[in-house]
Amino acid sequence: MLLENLSLLFFKNYDDANISFSPHINCFIGDNGSGKTNLLDAIHYLSMTRSAFNSSDALNIKQGGEYFMVKGRFKIDDEKHTVTCSLKQGQKKTVLHNKVAYEKMSDHIGRFPVVLISPYDTDLIREGSEERRKYFDSLISQLNHTYLEQLIQYNYILKQRNSLLKQFAERRYFDRDFLHILNEQLVPLGEQLAQERMAFLETFVPVFQKHYRHISDSHEAVTLTYKSQLPGANFAQLLEQAEQKDRALQRTTVGTHKDDFVFLMDDNPVKHFGSQGQQKSYVIALKLAHFEVMSERQHHKPLLLLDDIFDRLDEKRITKLMQMVAAHTFGQIFLTDTHLERTDKILENLSEQIRRFEVKEGTVKVIG
């Protein structure tokens, strides 16, 4: 799979940009704050219909603007696909595939996969369980459309249930029958999501462990486990047992939305016992496993986005990644850096298909 070109209108710090890409390596070079990462985020948006960094779509509109548009042309085998994402202030965003709007936005997820390796990846280790659930839900959703539909439905019913619990408290009444109706809808979805997460880790963990050994050259044993109340338990019964607590807190306190993915090194939490270097190796191995599993399931390689890795990683880890580039492990690559000389030195002899772009204050142009 290739992204042949990218067009932007009023996206983040860009008024207007039109870029044609190399089929192999594309380098965005510029000072910090110039807009390099925003170009990676635009590519991410085309794939996932959302920013990798902003939770609100409206934050992607350039300051003072009324709308944004991101447009890209993909090539898979011999077929061309044009994807357009846009948002006007106060309106719903639109996503078009070959000028036709999707009936459901979720139908787009997984069609044009992307993997982003970013300095913020260690947040997966440092932050709470919500970050890890989001990451794995996004990954599994790109591979399994049924899982995505179940997740959307689960979150919708969960929102209704939480709203009802709040309503009970505000209006000082309780309708157990109504609550049970929502429970009956929530239970099978929660159980299916938990089963899918466990099944996914069975195939994912060995691939992750292989990449950790390669990237780190170390002998500590790493793994990740799924921590959930559901497997082996009766979800309906758990909801009934938590009813009083849920009413007091005005939210649902049991279910797959409370689960976690536990990152371990020698049976200890990586968050507390892993060095900074070990934590970086851990999340890079996660992303490389993400890439490999996605490639195998989708039968084409995702786009790989590398944000400021030459600044943030030590020489050993950079060398390992570049060896994988040289071995054509990856397909099309997009990377950012602040120094052209450093980029050229690291990429020397890796490919004849390298295109370099100068990024400066929201403008982008080809170098050379």
- The two three-digit tokens of residue 18, written as one number: 């039109």
Q: Tell me the sheet residues that pair with 28.
A: 336, 357
30 known ligand binder: yes
Q: Known binder of ligand: residue 35?
A: yes
**How far apart, in Å, do the first and last CA atoms of the chain sit?**
26
- Exposed e or buried b per residue across 183-217, where buried means at least 16 C-beta atoms within 10 angstroms of its C-beta: bebbbebbbbbbebbeebbeebbebbbebbbebbe
AA identity, residue 184: E
Q: Is 64 annotated as a binding residue?
A: no
Is 32 annotated to bind ligand? Answer: yes
Alpha helices for the chain (secondary structure H)? 36-48, 123-126, 129-143, 145-171, 176-216, 235-241, 243-249, 270-273, 276-298, 309-312, 315-326, 340-347
Shortest CA distance to 208 belongs to which of 192, 231, 187, 224? 224
274 labelled ligand-binding: no
Q: How many residues does this entry show for the chain?
A: 368
Exposure of 256 by Cβ count < 10 A (0-12 exposed, 13-18 middle, 19+ buried)?
buried
Q: Per the annotation, does 36 bind a ligand? A: yes
Enumerate the known binding-site residues for ATP: 30-37
Enumerate the known binding-site residues: 30-37
